[in-house]
Amino acid sequence: MEITLEGKVALVTGCGPNIGSGVALALSRYGAKVACNDVDQGVIDACIKRIERNDGEAMAAPGDVTDEEAVKGYVDAVLERWGRIDILVNNAAILGGRGVLDETAEAFERAVRVSSLGYFLNTKHVGRAMAERGIRGSIVCMSSSNGWNGSAGVIAYAFHKGGVNNFVRAAAMDLAPYGIRVNSFTPTAPTPDNPELLAQGAQSVLNGPPPKGAVRHGLGSEGGDEPWRRPARWTGERPPMVPMGTTGTPTDIGHAVAWLSSDFARLVTGVDLVVDGGARAKNFAYFPAPADQLAGPLPLINLDDTPLPVS
């Protein structure tokens, strides 16, 4: 089976350097033209540059996914340039946050708004564009393991990712009469493999740890040292927690999303595709074998020809 997206046009929201960029690149490498959306023009430029240096075709689709006029504007721009949209990947979201005892109402509302309203508006306007043109397209909404399982320190993220999962099932029912498929995709903390991101990580190591007093995200408050607080996570040594030994990379996600967006998945709708090395399937009491005894997955099929930075 040779997956091809030749002749198709994709729109990827939230094309940041990790999952968004990885998915955008994969869709391009499989043959699609890709419109890259974000609120940060620098992020868009970096994603387009990555696609073009790997011989793909891309365009900028800047705009806030929560602004309906902005969404209609960049959807129209893609249609004006390429005449169609066959694939939508809803990926824009606000990562991180704080736990339920410390999150602010403002931060909670903004995080939920970006994901919920962003996914809705893009699905609405791209779905209409598909339906009007008789395009039996694919819409993929990025979920998260946090949408299925509890995790401390990210209450807003957990809330809106959980909502994604049922939004997908309902939207799949709405769009099924048009032959448009809607699915979710669940990754689990992938290991970055974007050369630029790896280079930035290497530079941050050289720059040293963040300054004392920097705002802490995820657990506790900015201080987090009140006497009544209890730890939310175990911070000691753990055995490997993922059955396959790795949760994979954005390239692994890209391969799977490309298949989900292809004609080979023509009857796949209203479901969640998980690529996480078995993390979600694992029973809480199960510990995989020691790391040196895990066979691990097959070698990664790489999609970015850029040399990785030398460590």
Q: Which ranges constitute the DSSP H helices of the chain?
A: 19-29, 41-53, 68-82, 105-132, 155-175, 195-207, 250-260
Cβ–Cβ < 8 Å for 232, 217: no
Question: What DSSP character marks residue 223?
Answer: S
Distance CA 45, CA 57 (A): 13
The reply to whether 157 belongs to the active site is: yes
Structure tokens at 94: 């606000």
Q: Do the strands 87-90 and 58-60 form a parallel or antiparallel pair, or are they unpaired? A: unpaired
Q: Which ranges constitute the DSSP H helices of 99-140?
A: 105-132
Catalytic residue among 30, 74, 119, 157: 157
Q: Which residues pair with 184 in a beta bridge?
A: 141, 272
Cβ–Cβ < 8 Å for 88, 140: yes
Question: What DSSP character marks residue 300?
Answer: P
Neighbours of 170 (CB within 10 A): 11
**Cα 142–chain centre separation:** 5
Burial class of residue 69, CB neighbours in 10 A (0-12, 13-18, 19+) = exposed
Cβ–Cβ < 8 Å for 183, 261: no
Q: Do the strands 33-36 and 87-90 form a parallel or antiparallel pair, or are they unpaired? A: unpaired
Q: 53 in helix, strand or coil?
A: helix
**Cα 249–chain centre separation:** 11
Q: Which ranges constitute the DSSP H helices of 37-86?
A: 41-53, 68-82
Structure tokens at 74: 């960049």
- Active site members: 157
